[in-house]
Structure 1
Amino acid sequence: MQGRSAGLRFRVNIMNAIVNFFTAFDEKLAMLMKAVVTVLGIFVSFAIVVGIVSRALLGKPVFGIEELILMAAMWLYMLGAALASRERSHLSADFIQAFSKNRTLNDIARLIATGLSVVMAGFFVAWSYSLFAWGFEKGQVTPVFSIPQYISQASLFVASILLLIYALRDFIHDASKLVVKN
């Protein structure tokens, strides 16, 4: 009997170690994403001001600045979406929660919505990978700096993978709330 207890404790310790590893990894990834989003936000803002001032006041446009702004804005937007998904602060329409006080019904509705998010995120991963692979294969580049287009397309692929991971995490969390309750 004591062998079973030790085996169970061992499995629980292994699971806790895995959860702790992924939690620490997620925290470090979130810090990196926040830093990148901050730098990109500052860059995009500054570059837009420089572009406007140079064109409107100096009469000399900065060639290629739009390329850099577009690349940075794509990564800014996609990493921002991944952060919102991580923090579960993205937009949602929780109609059932607005009309029902039944906690179980609300939890079921949230689980269904999260399940649909997982399915859609899976489609987004497939579609964004296809776009990224196509861009990589075609070798298209921007006109001024010859930056490969797949760099901005990669932002869609990276963000869709992160969205899928966070949607799966939320689905497991929502399902466990229903299982623990019953």
Structure 2
Amino acid sequence: MGPNSAIRSIWKNLTRLQAKLTFIIMIILPFMVFIQVLLRYVFRVPLMGIEELMIYPIIWLYMLGGANASLERNHISCGILTLYIKRERTMQIFNITKALVSLGVSLWLTYWSYWYFLYSLKVWKYTDLVKVPLFFGESALFIGLTLMTIYTAVELVDYIQIFARSLRKEKEELS
């Protein structure tokens, strides 16, 4: 088992775990809303604190959704410049630049979310009603941004490899 197959295995397991976790949260959250509506409007017995509990799957779903968008490269973007770029080489350079800027911003946000993660771990705050540690929701920021950073770095490497292949191909054609 070489290093590439080990990395592929880790990558495959990471993305599979992320997909399963996202799916589970997507089931839990509507179920919690259903229970809340059922208790409040049908049985007239409001369940106090369910809004506090729903914050956790909401935060995790939001961050895992962002990480999934980074994985699938389905970012929300305003592609106006791509309409004006006609040359393939220029588009490749634009993609590399875009991925570099995205990686820089992602690294910066991940850095700050790491310190927030450590602060949250140290302070160990609780919710008001249910007294669940806020750390479990706040840790989603660091984990989600770390995943986004990893996926953005892989995207950058892919764009660089595409650019390098096109340079080699162009050089071979000139020879």
Query: Which residue of 1 is the match for residue 101 of structure 2?
Result: 116
RMSD: 1.5
Query: Which residue of 1 is the match for residue 139 of structure 2?
Result: 154
Identity between Structure 1 and Structure 2 (%): 23
Verify the 8 A CA contact 1:96 1:106 in the aligned structure 2.
no
**Pairs aligned (count):** 167
Deviation of 1:53 after TM superposition, in Å, equals: 2.2
> What CA deviation, in whole Å up to 9, does each residue of 1:36-88 have, x standing for no partner?
11111111001012112211222211122112211011111111211221111
Verify the 8 A CA contact 1:104 1:178 in the aligned structure 2.
yes
Deviation of 1:135 after TM superposition, in Å, equals: 1.7
Deviation of 1:125 after TM superposition, in Å, equals: 0.8
Which consecutive residues of structure 2, in runs of 5 or more, have no partner in the other structure? 168-175
User: Quick one: higher RCO (CA 8 Å, sep 6+), 1 or 2?
Assistant: 2
Verify the 8 A CA contact 1:128 1:153 in the aligned structure 2.
no
Distance 1:121 1:146, change over 3 A: same
Q: Which moved more, 1:45-54 or 1:150-159?
A: 45-54
Q: Which moved more, 1:124-133 or 1:111-120?
A: 124-133
Pair 1:31-2:7 in alignment = no
Query: Which residue of 1 is the match for residue 164 of structure 2?
Result: 179
- What's the secondary structure of 1:91's corresponding residue? coil
Q: How does 1:1-182 map to 2 (within 5 A)?
A: 17-182=2-167
- What's the secondary structure of 1:179's corresponding residue? helix
> What CA deviation, in whole Å up to 9, does each residue of 1:108-135 have, x standing for no partner?
1111110011001111111111222222
Q: 2:26 is matched by which residue type in structure 1?
A: G
Deviation of 1:169 after TM superposition, in Å, equals: 0.8
Runs of 4 or more consecutive aligned structure 1 residues displaced over 6 Å after TM superposition: none
The separation in 1 between residues aligned to 2:23 and 2:80, in whole angstroms, is 33
**TM-score, reference length from structure 1:** 0.85
Q: Which moved more, 1:171-180 or 1:158-167?
A: 171-180
> What CA deviation, in whole Å up to 9, does each residue of 1:103-160 have, x standing for no partner?
1111111111100110011111111112222222222101233211111111010011
Q: 1:118 is matched by which residue type in structure 2?
A: L
**TM-score, reference length from structure 2:** 0.89
Deviation of 1:33 after TM superposition, in Å, equals: 1.1
